[in-house]
Chain A
Amino acid sequence: MNKTLKNTFQLNIGPQHPSTHGVLRCIEELDGERIKSLDFVVGYLHRGMEKMAENMTCLQYLPVVDRVDYLSGFFCSQAYLSAIETSLNFELPKKAQYIRVLTMELNRISSHLLWLASFLMDLGATSPYFYCFRERESILDIFENITGARMMYNYYTFGGVKSDISAEILDKIAEFLDEFPSHVKEYENIITNNPIFLDRTKEIGVISLKQAQNFGLTGVNLRASGSKADLRKDKPYLIYSELDFDVPFSIYGDAYTRYQMRIREMLESRKIALQCIEWLRKNISDDKVNLNINSKTVKIDEGLTIGSVEAPRGEIMCWLWGNGTNTPERVKWRTPSFYALQVLPEIMKGKMYSDLMSAFGSLDVIMPEVDR
């Protein structure tokens, strides 16, 4: 009878839990309020995104792609389409490229706004949630005007975008972007110097550059740890090389830094969007926004092509194996949240249970993207 007394106990969080941003199951070994070990069980939101592609033509698959990450649908479409477009050597019309960049950057702002809202909700602050949603609402309205849908756009098509942007919508976007810095200031007033917020986020969930690289983090999570990697600068796609913008980065790698990076990235996205609007206004008469090809007849060439894009949560990649028919042989998605989730057990060992919420929230993990 050599039973040793166990000082720890197991706490199961989720799959349904207010702060798991979807359906994530998390098994913790707790010693009091300290985390001894942490294990994630993913897959509750698995929709078989990759397998689905093998039974559909690439046109049928196009609307499905938006659902890989429902908060940044444009980016997924872009990753998928750029794989096909590279494979078929499509040269996109200039205007289509500008419209794609404009919508993607607006999408980045809306995604970061939702992140900010839910992150603060995790920390127990309720009000900023509604402020962020107010601005996100205007972006979704704009998207509704452009594409006809608020979240699942299905707007990009092979060799361009489906419809042109009118001058009125451009005015509407410009109006929103003009007001946007004052709204950001509003968030910062209520959040940035709040001692409780600083206490909950500074030096919490610190990820070193080494760890970040080892775990394959991308996007803001990597840049907050000291890297400058950004696909828009390193391997410019579309017309990013012609645009003037900065990539914010920092070295501390804690939750507070990730918050700052995302706030700054929203403002950078605004800068990019304004440049796109300027170009689009000059070329309003040009109405060639796609290559006018019959989407039904698009056949993917044999071999592997990769489309990658700098999404709000990091680098989304789409591996596409074609076999000469209009159905891909195999599609693989590389989604950044999946990698961000893996780093948590490493950095949360021995930390407080409450810190898990701020660290988890700051990494901007959303479950549909993890499970696909």
Chain B
Amino acid sequence: MNYFNISYFPDYVYIPLYYLIGFIVVAVLMLFVVLFLVLLERKLLGFFTVRVGPNRVGFHGALQTVADAIKLLFKEDIIPLKADKLLFTLSPILVFAPIMTVWAYIPFNGFFAVQNSVVGSLIFLSLLSFPILGILFAGISSANKYSLLGSLRACAQTLCYELPIFISLLSVVILSGSLDLNDIVSAQSINNNCFGWFIIPSLLGFITFYISSVAMMNRVPFDFPEAESEFVGGYHTEYSGMKFAMFFLAEYASMFILCAFMATIFLGGFLSPFGKYISDFLPLSDLIKTPLIFIEQFFWLILKTMVLVVAVIWTRATLPRLRIDRSLEFFWKLILPLSILNIFIVCLIKLFMGAR
């Protein structure tokens, strides 16, 4: 399924054009999403903590993050004297690029996903394992002990959240019988309402996935790689200007994209919770219906993602930080067994409820 297919272009024009358009759409979308998310987080945190939040630049502070981004762009780019310059420059890119890439695999609606793959969900999570390399390199190359300790913590944490996250994904794969994200979404439309979503048979899996992905985003209560009160800035202590901005962008982009992924595999993705009401009930011609469905499905995915994003921000506003060893215990001794138990439950459901 390609989002546009014009047969009179020769291949050598068509293929680059296809990816170029995909890239531009994803890049622009990501830029807006990140700018919006930073503002949303600051506004929400303001709301949670009896403050106003940014309200000076633009309409109710709408341009605050734009102003911040411009400020970061013009800041001096400092590389510490003893830093390994190559790794130091490479690591923000290593963090940023995979997170940028995975956007291509999310089906934003039934018509548009830049890249379709039969193993889409696997590629998605595998690519998201790469940023840890960037974080590790950042810690090693900065020649700063805070950075080093922060990045080592990040590595220790990676080991413990990746297993539950993949095992939770496995439960969805068992239910849908496919690794393709489009197939996973369409497998959830069987009942034609929200009861077909995989969150119902695999509730435990959703919870373990959610907790693990909060750890993957390095956010409170699992934010020890950048624990402010302990390691100042953690792995990005020495970074400034655009390099820091890339870490910053990556954090928010990964927050959005992981929530979108969760929405896709557990909450029915772009499906509406009330079934296909547009194509079934509205007396309109296909020419109007198709763009309407295009927008409607996009809207549902963004809405579900936003609900999850707000939950993540809310968690940040509520909880203190865990201790690193407690966090490792928590993942190895509780979340991992729970996700395996979830596989067992899902298998039983699959066995007795028959083909879904």
Task: Using CB atoms and an 8 Å cutoff, list the residues of chain A in contact with chain B.
Answer: 9, 11-12, 17-19, 33, 120-127, 129-131, 134, 190, 194, 196-197, 199-200, 352-355, 357
Interface-forming stretch among B160-168, B189-197, B222-230, B260-268? Answer: B222-230
A126 touches B45 (CB 8 A): yes
Would B323 and A19 count as touching, CB distance under 8 A? no
- Find chain B residues with CB under 8 A from A9 CB: 145
State A196–B317 Cα separation when bound (angstroms): 14
Bound-complex Cα distance A121 to B321 (A): 10
Residues of chain A within 8 A of B325, CB atoms compared:
33, 352
CB-based contact B320/A33 at 8 Å: no
Contacts of B230 in A (CB 8 A): 19, 353-354, 357
Number of residues on chain B facing chain A (CB within 8 A): 28
A13 to B325, CA, bound (A): 21
Closest-CB distance, A296 to chain B (whole angstroms): 46
Distance, CA A199 to CA B322, complexed state (A):
8
Q: 14 other contacts beyond A9-B145, A197-B320, with CB at 8 A cut-off?
A: A19-B229, A33-B149, A122-B229, A123-B229, A123-B321, A124-B228, A125-B320, A125-B321, A126-B316, A196-B320, A199-B322, A352-B323, A353-B149, A353-B230
Minimum Cβ distance to chain A for residue B226 (Å) = 11
> Binary interface profile of B, 320-356, with partner A (CB < 8 Å = 1, else 0)?
1111111000000000000000000000000000000
A121 to B322, CA, bound (A): 13
Separation in Å of the A307 CB from the closest CB of chain B?
Answer: 36
Complex alpha-carbon distance, A353 and B50, angstroms: 32
Q: Which 10 A-B pairs rank lowest in CB-CB distance, beginning with the nearest?
A: A124-B321, A130-B49, A125-B320, A19-B229, A123-B320, A354-B323, A124-B320, A122-B229, A127-B317, A127-B49
Q: Does the CB pair B223–A124 fall under 8 Å?
A: yes
Instruction: Judge whether B118 is part of the interface by a CB distance below 8 angstroms.
Output: no
Q: In the bound complex, do residue B318 and residue A190 qualify as a contact, i.e. CB atoms below 8 Å apart? A: yes
User: Does B259 belong to the interface (CB within 8 Å)?
Assistant: no
Residues of A within 8 A of B326 (CB): 199
Residues of chain A within 8 A (CB-CB) of B45 are 126-127
Main secondary structure of the interface of A (DSSP, over half): helix
Q: Enumerate chain A residues within 8 angstroms of B48, measured Cβ to Cβ.
A: 127
Q: Which residues of B contact A19 (CB under 8 A)?
A: 228-230
A200 contacts across to B, CB distance below 8 A: 320-323
Contact, CB under 8 Å: A131 / B49? yes
Q: A33-B149, A130-B51 are in contact. Are A124 and B318 (CB under 8 A)?
A: no
Q: Is the CB of B49 within 8 A of A129?
A: yes
Alpha-carbon gap, A27 to B48, bound state (A): 37
Min CB–CB distance A143 → chain B (angstroms): 21
In the bound complex, residues from chain A placing their C-beta under 8 Å from that of B223 are 124
* B50 close to A130 (CB less than 8 A): yes
| Chain B residues in 8 Å Cβ range of A127 | 45, 48-49, 317-318
Is the CB–CB distance between A124 and B221 below 8 Å? Answer: yes
Say how far A37's CB is from chain B's closest CB, in angstroms: 16
Whether A18 pairs with B232 at a CB distance below 8 angstroms is yes
Q: Name B46's closest neighbour in chain A (CB-CB).
A: A130
Q: What residue in chain A is nearest B323 (Cβ atoms)?
A: A354
Contacts of A353 in B (CB 8 A): 149, 230
The reply on B172 being an interface residue by CB < 8 A is: no
Q: How far is the CB of B35 from chain A (nearest CB, A)?
A: 22
Interface pair B228/A18, CB less than 8 Å apart: yes
Q: How far is the CB of A31 from chain B (nearest CB, A)?
A: 12
* A-B contacts, 26 listed (Cβ < 8 Å): A11-B145, A11-B146, A11-B149, A17-B232, A18-B228, A18-B229, A19-B230, A123-B321, A124-B220, A124-B221, A124-B227, A125-B320, A126-B45, A126-B49, A130-B50, A131-B49, A134-B50, A194-B319, A196-B319, A199-B322, A199-B326, A200-B320, A200-B321, A200-B323, A354-B230, A354-B324
With both chains docked as a complex, state the minimum distance between the C-beta of A64 and any C-beta of chain B, in angstroms.
32
Residues of B193-234 at the interface with A, using a CB-CB cut-off of 8 Å, are 220-221, 223-224, 227-230, 232
Q: Roughly how many angstroms separate A227 CA and B2 CA in the complex, as a whole number?
A: 75
Contact B229 A357, beta carbon cutoff 8 Å? yes
Residues of A within 8 A of B145 (CB): 9, 11-12
Query: Is A196 touching B322 in the complex (CB atoms < 8 A)?
Result: yes
Give min CB distance, A57 to chain B, whole Å.
43
B224 to A, closest residue via Cβ: A354
Set of chain B residues within 8 Å of A124, measured between Cβ atoms: 220-221, 223, 227-229, 319-321
Please report the C-alpha to C-alpha distance between residue A9 and residue B149 in the assembled complex, in whole angstroms: 11
Shortest CB distance B225–A (Å): 12
Q: How far is the CB of A255 from chain B (nearest CB, A)?
A: 12
Inter-chain contact A131/B50, CB cutoff 8 Å: yes
A35 to chain B, nearest CB (A): 12
Pair A33/B316 contact, Cβ less than 8 Å: no
Q: Is the CB of A120 within 8 A of B320?
A: yes
Chain A residues whose CB sits within 8 angstroms of the CB of B320 once the complex forms: 120, 123-125, 194, 196-197, 200
Query: Which residues of B sit under 8 angstroms from A18, Cβ to Cβ?
Result: 228-229, 232
B237 to chain A, nearest CB (A): 11
Most buried by B among A131, A196, A197: A196
- Shortest Cβ gap from B347 to chain A (Å): 31
> In the bound complex, what is the Cα–Cα distance between A194 and B317 (angstroms)?
13
A196 in contact with B221 given A19-B230, A125-B320 (CB within 8 Å): yes
Minimum CB distance partner of B325 in chain A? A352
CA distance A131 to B324 in the complex (A): 27
In Å, the complex CA distance between A178 and B309 comes to 38
**Minimum CB distance partner of B45 in chain A:** A126
Closest chain B residue to A9, Cβ basis = B145
Q: Which residue of A lies closest to B223 (CB)?
A: A124
A42–B339 alpha-carbon span in the complex (Å): 49
Contact residues in B for A190 (Cβ distance below 8 Å): 318
* Chain B residue nearest to A124 in the complex (CB): B321
Give the residue of A33, A121, A130, A196 whose beta carbon is less than 8 angstroms from that of B229: A121
Q: Which residues of A contact B224 (CB under 8 A)?
A: 354
Nearest CB in chain B: distance from A327 CB, A:
43
Is A33's CB under 8 angstroms from B324's CB?
A: yes
A352–B321 Cα distance when bound, in Å, is 14
**What chain B residues lie within 8 Å of A33 (beta carbons)?**
149, 324-325
CB contacts under 8 Å to A, within B120-150, are 145-146, 149
